[in-house]
Amino acid sequence: MFDVWIIFQKKINTLNDMKKYLYLRPVYVLMIIILFCCTSKHKISDKPHILLITGGHSFDTIQFFEMFYDFEDMDVDTISQPQANALLETDELKKYDVLVFYDMWQDITDQQKTGLLGLLKEGKGMVFLHHSLVSYQGWDEFIYIIGGRYNLENDRMDTSKISGFEHDLDIKARIINKTHPITSNMPDFTIHDEGYYNIEIIPAVHPLLEVNHPSCAKCVAWTNKYENSRIVYILLGHDRHAYQNESFRLLVENAVKWSNLKIPDD
């Protein structure tokens, strides 16, 4: 479309009387209108359409949503649980480019599992933040989707495998993959946040960030691939202190954009 516009613009710019030419060639007026509409629509569709999924855990609501609404290069819708999982039984989620999970939810039916797995097979990008690592303790496959698990205490678990957390940590994060599109434009940074420790991480993930704090897991951000989808998990992001941290914002924004790409375009 842009090439057609350039050619047309060059042609009419060579005329001595553009107004007279347009009067004699009304078809070109129609062309301008059509091109304007098409290119405007193209710009809007370039923005990834994302769905923020919350529920099951309290958070600083206003500041969290403000962070995403400040991202100018994406269109954002929001939904909470259990309404989000109910949509897995429909085709409604197919219209979104990226699903961002900030929920901590346990209830999921077999039909909803099938719906989520179907989206992954289709290549739906997914970003999981902070306490989403605690979700679906009873679904064994979920750890291979998100790339890890925060283990809650239960009667069948070895107590040495139970995960833990600590609030109000000043965490120094180091970029360990400086060539990855998510972190290539980021320096090391410090963030005031909550840490998780003694979490499970599967060997297949690709670490992005690491920290050195006794109350936090060493790896705090990674990528994973499941079926045809790009997956990102970011352990950081407990409250407004994280949401207002510019490095955290950039990390989340980059993660959404990267997960929207299609495999195998690295």
Q: What CATH architecture applies to the domain 47-259?
A: 3-Layer(aba) Sandwich (3.40)
pTM for this structure? 0.82
Q: Tens digits of per-residue pLDDT, 231-262?
A: 999 999 999 999 999 999 999 999 999 999 87
Instruction: Determine the pLDDT at residue 264.
Output: 63
Q: Tens digits of per-residue pLDDT, 31-80?
A: 433 443 443 333 333 689 999 999 999 999 999 999 999 999 999 999 99
Distant-in-sequence, close-in-space partners of 197: CB < 8 Å, separation ≥ 6 = 163, 164, 165, 166, 214, 215, 216, 217
Please state, in angstroms and rounded to a whole number, the distance separating the CA atoms of residues 174 and 168.
Answer: 19
Closest CA to 105 of 77, 83, 78, 127: 83
Please state, in angstroms and rounded to a whole number, the distance separating the CA atoms of residues 67 and 256.
Answer: 13
Q: What are the tokens at 219?
A: 């790896």
- pLDDT band at 263; cut points 50, 70, 90: confident
Type of residue numbered 189? F
- pLDDT band at 11; cut points 50, 70, 90: very low
Q: What are the tokens at 26?
A: 């009304």
pLDDT at 4 over 90: no
Instruction: List the chain domain ranges.
Output: 2-42, 47-259
Please state, in angstroms and rounded to a whole number, the distance separating the CA atoms of residues 166 and 118.
Answer: 36
**Least confidently predicted of 1-10, 81-90, 104-113, 118-127:** 1-10
* Cβ atoms of 45 and 227 closer than 8 Å: no
Instruction: Say whether the peptide bond before residue 264 is cis (omega within 30 degrees of 0).
Output: yes
**Least confidently predicted of 1-5, 104-108, 235-239, 243-247:** 1-5
* Cβ atoms of 51 and 99 closer than 8 Å: yes
Q: What are the tokens at 76?
A: 């954002």
Quick one: which H or E segment has residue 234?
strand 229-234
Q: Tens digits of per-residue pLDDT, 127-159?
A: 999 999 999 999 999 999 999 999 999 867 778
